[in-house]
Amino acid sequence: MKTTIVAVLFIFSFIFNLQEAVSAEAPKIGYINAIKIFESTKAGKKSKATLEEYIKARQKIVDQEEEEIKKLEEELTRQGSVLSAEAKKEKESVFQRKLAQYQKKAVDLNREIQEKKAEVLKEFNNILEEVVKKIAEKEGYQVILDKNPDIGTVVYMSGSLDITSKVIEETDKFKP
């Protein structure tokens, strides 16, 4: 009887220790929704506003040049029949030159916008990484994933692992 009780206690002890060892080895995993964080935080909203302002300023330049091109084209169309061949050729040449300049400027401004977008997003991502690292170290997470619906890096994840709201709170408190 004593050996049975000892054996049962030994088995329970072994199972308890095994369960403890398994749970101690399991990594703590969390995930965030970086897009939601970008759209919901002060830093994200500020980054978005900066980018929109930059794009609007660049678009204004393109719109002005486009309007100038349209006016030249309309003028050329209206006056084309009354101009001498030489004058018409000169106006067409000016129009073609302005059109080429406009197209080059549009391409250059688009490149500038893409570079600015990358710069603004990089700055925000640096803040996000610092905040996520702080939360991960504080709360013992080994892995935190980004649940991005466009890329699909997470197929399924339990909602209990979502720490997006904590990151939003900490990001709004963050002072670089």
Per-residue pLDDT at 63 = 92
Domain ranges across the chain = 2-173
3-class SS of residue 30: strand
Q: For the chain, what is the largest distance between any 2 Cα atoms, rounded to a whole number of angstroms?
A: 122
For residue range 112-126, what is the model confidence (pLDDT) as tens digits?
Answer: 999 999 999 999 989
For residue range 13-59, what is the model confidence (pLDDT) as tens digits?
Answer: 545 454 444 455 677 888 888 889 999 999 999 999 999 999 999 99
The dihedrals phi and psi of 26, each to the nearest 5 degrees, come to -70, 125
Record the tokens describing residue 152, joined without a space. 């699909």
CA 87/CA 83 separation, integer angstroms: 6
DSSP 113-145: HHHHHHHHHHHHHHHHHHHHHHHHHHHT-SEEE
CA 36/CA 14 separation, integer angstroms: 45
Q: Structure pTM?
A: 0.68
